[in-house]
Structure 1
Amino acid sequence: MTRRQLLGTAAGAATLAAVGLPARAQEPLKVGFIYVGPVGDGGWTFQHDLGRKAAEEEYGDKIQTTFIESVPEGADAERALTQLALAGNKLIFATSFGFMDAVINVAKKFPDVNFEHATGYKTADNVATYDARFYEGRAVIGTIAGRMTKSNKIGYIGSFPIPEVIQGINSAFIHARKVNPDVQISVVWAYTWFDPAKEADAAAALIAEGVDVILQHTDSTAPLAKAQEAGVIGFGQASDMAAFAPTPRVSSIIDNWAPYYIQRIGAMLDGSWKSQSKWMGIGDGEVVIGEITDAIPAEVKDEALALKDKIASGAYHPFTGPLKKQDGSEWLAEGQTATDQELSGLNFFVEGITAKIPQ
């Protein structure tokens, strides 16, 4: 038998191995990511890309990853997802809420490709969703905000009026009020996930209102830079933003996506991947509270960490009644907790918030 014939037989690879010739290596699993911002944003996208890199480190040459950054939500997302699917990626992570319909549309065209959508709620046989309980972290930093404000005015920079952001505003306010009944919260909508100029303008507007603690649900470090100029405090968002510690960044909410990406890519490699919806929080290690700096008094730090531990253990839910809606109507009775279904569609503020949700 010639070497050419040997390569063509079913037993060829085994025979080649027996005579010391290498068999063809298995092709790596191609995994794609689309990001709403740049990987250098220092926040949301930066953390997702850390998760991608962690998966590469975990699986080595078993996988090959690629990403497309700064993808606008809408038609551009469909084009980016299609590009990744046509390039042979068999698992694609879409990492922003506004990619949801694009994921569903493209998934129908590529039934042999599996998709994972961050923070969405639409699934299919080849579409899974994953989310983090950011509102748990907001409860912790809301507690710090309520204790630290001297003006009794805290501010919140919202990206878009979607349930994820509304959850965070409500949770921060509820827990600030628990420790300081005089707290008021002002909300400025940036209508962007990542735009440093708009985020800085939003922070400046809040500071002009007398706010001395700023929280954000946008992706850049611009609000912290503005807080630094004004001598007010703030928190890292999505990533630690520790370059601004010990102040104005006095703590942070860190999104830890690496374990999820490693687990789901592993499921593709071993053939166990199935559509699912996962929503994880502090107790799962997906939402992490960054170091609380010495700019915060020890007793406030201890109080915040005790709350974090109660949430992590399941002993406390940040949305526990009695709670009323903004219009004064009943929402949660004494001891009643909000269901995941209620929270995933949350479209109202709680009593005490005077800001309006844009329609």
Structure 2
Amino acid sequence: MSRRLFIRATGAALTATISLGLMHGCKKDETAAGGGGAKPLTIGFIYVGTKDDFGYNQAHNEGAEAVKKLPGVKVVVQENVKETDDVQKVMEGMIQEDGATLIFPTSFGYFDPHMITVAKKYPSLQFRHCGGLFDEAKHPANTGSYFGYIDECQYLAGIVAGKTTKTNKLGFIAAKPIPQVLRNINALTLGARSVNPAVTTTVIFTGGWFDPNKEAEATNSLVNQGIDVITCHVDSPKVIIENAEKRGIYSCGYHANGSALAPKGYLTGSEWNWAKVYTDYVTATKENKPLPHLVRGGLKDGFVKPSAYGPAVSAEAKTLADAAKAKAMEGKLVIFKGPLKDNKGAIVIEAGKEIAQTDPILEKMGYLVEGVNGAVN
């Protein structure tokens, strides 16, 4: 049951700034920036977890905080919303109670059927989803998706990990084998093997975006196998990074800066800069410009950024990673090029072929590259 339905049931009055945690933990924040007497543009952000998780939700909330600073804008945030009909109820509440006209349901599982269902009901409003699920041929015209080439940062992290590891064994804890996750695992591995061909990456899929118990178990399992650098693609890397520090191995963060969690072992990380994306969307909306259906960008576009290097990173590793970053900033970094085999020995990219970061084929990736220990199915 969402906060909004609770309010309707009890007849409580809505206020401009209220934050309540009810039932399954759904929490709402509202902030309005100054904009004169004109009615503010109301933007809704919905998170599957908490906004201070050192991960996925925190990264999005940092973007929402940037939007709050824009004039004439009201921001409504709800955290801890499950990937169920609950998110439809939250969107309905944002529209009916707060007057939201642009909504960002950020979690992967919010898209279909939830966001699609609500978008069809309100064709004059705009909905944008984080990920690669939007298909112009079958989805409503008032929907779309945004994402970034964060595999560029993963490639840099791989270079650092490849030059830091003593065992040549990296570990990757991932939620689910969807294309975005596989792309990150592969990019990290290719980055590491570009400077250290002996490196292998062992992957453990937990099956869920946020499962601290399984993530802790996976971390310990990987350390026990001799892994000495670990990273992840889950909603909150907090447990993984903290456990890696306790076990005396190195870590690379994801989504947001996790260096505070591991002062000794944090090498670098792959961070989102959603402030750039969200402020662009809001600015276009305020200027009555049509919103694009697909928004993508990498390092050169300011969508993503690497974390600062930790104290354990060598000068050589920094030089090599910085060189790759410079290529990315020029739009010249090619991560996926042939000849490239998957980890079953099949050719997935033929010799002489290069796949640009902007190629949609990479958003359909369904394989793990050579050097990765793990299975997609």
For 2:322 and 2:262, the matched residues in 1 are separated by 18
Task: Confirm or deny: 8 A CA contact 1:195 1:220 kept in the other structure.
Answer: no
Q: Given the alignment, which residue of 82, 85, 88 partners 2:92?
A: 82
Q: Which residue of 2 aligns with 1:274?
A: 291
- Are positions 1:260 and 2:260 aligned together? no
Q: Given the alignment, which residue of 175, 190, 198 partners 1:174?
A: 190
Q: Secondary structure at the match of 2:252?
A: strand
Unaligned runs of 5+ in 1: 1-23
Q: Which residue of 2 aligns with 1:229?
A: 246
Give, in angstroms, the shift of residue 253 of structure 1. 1.1
Q: Percent identity?
A: 33
Q: Given the alignment, which residue of 102, 124, 128 partners 1:112?
A: 124
Q: Which residue of 2 aligns with 1:344?
A: 363
Task: Confirm or deny: 8 A CA contact 2:241 2:262 kept in the other structure.
Answer: no
- Are positions 1:210 and 2:229 aligned together? no
State which drifts further: 110-119 or 335-344: 335-344
Give, in angstroms, the shift of residue 223 of structure 1. 0.7
Task: Confirm or deny: 8 A CA contact 2:162 2:196 kept in the other structure.
Answer: yes
Corresponding letter in the other structure for 1:164: Q
Task: Confirm or deny: 8 A CA contact 1:311 1:318 kept in the other structure.
Answer: no
For 1:55 and 1:209, the matched residues in 2 are separated by 44
RMSD: 1.6
For 1:186 and 1:326, the matched residues in 2 are separated by 11
Corresponding letter in the other structure for 1:64: K
Q: Secondary structure at the match of 2:202?
A: strand
For 1:352 and 1:30, the matched residues in 2 are separated by 47
State which drifts further: 74-83 or 156-165: 74-83
Task: Confirm or deny: 8 A CA contact 2:245 2:262 kept in the other structure.
Answer: no
For 1:226 and 1:335, the matched residues in 2 are separated by 42
For 1:217 and 1:324, the matched residues in 2 are separated by 22
Give, in angstroms, the shift of residue 305 of structure 1. 1.1
Give, in angstroms, the shift of residue 347 of structure 1. 0.9
- For the pair shown, which has the larger CA radius of gyration, 1 or 2? 1
Task: Confirm or deny: 8 A CA contact 2:281 2:291 kept in the other structure.
Answer: no
- Are positions 1:355 and 2:357 aligned together? no
- Are positions 1:163 and 2:179 aligned together? yes
Q: Which residue of 1 aligns with 2:349?
A: 332
Structure having the higher helix fraction is 1
For 2:38 and 2:191, the matched residues in 1 are separated by 53
Task: Confirm or deny: 8 A CA contact 1:28 1:64 kept in the other structure.
Answer: yes
Corresponding letter in the other structure for 2:107: S
Give, in angstroms, the shift of residue 335 of structure 1. 3.8
Give, in angstroms, the shift of residue 246 of structure 1. 4.1
Task: Confirm or deny: 8 A CA contact 2:237 2:253 kept in the other structure.
Answer: no
State which drifts further: 195-204 or 309-318: 195-204
Q: How does 1:1-359 map to 2 (within 5 A)?
A: 25-59=37-71, 62-87=72-97, 88-101=99-112, 102-122=114-134, 123-218=139-234, 219-244=236-261, 246-338=263-355, 340-358=359-377
Q: Structure 1-normalised TM-score?
A: 0.89
Q: Which residue of 1 aligns with 2:16?
A: none
For 1:95 and 1:171, the matched residues in 2 are separated by 23
Q: Secondary structure at the match of 1:293?
A: coil
Q: Secondary structure at the match of 2:69?
A: helix
Give, in angstroms, the shift of residue 245 of structure 1. 5.0
Q: What per-residue deviation string (whole Å, max 9, x for no partner) do you get for residues 207-237 of structure 1?
A: 1111100011112311111011111000121
Unaligned runs of 5+ in 2: 1-35
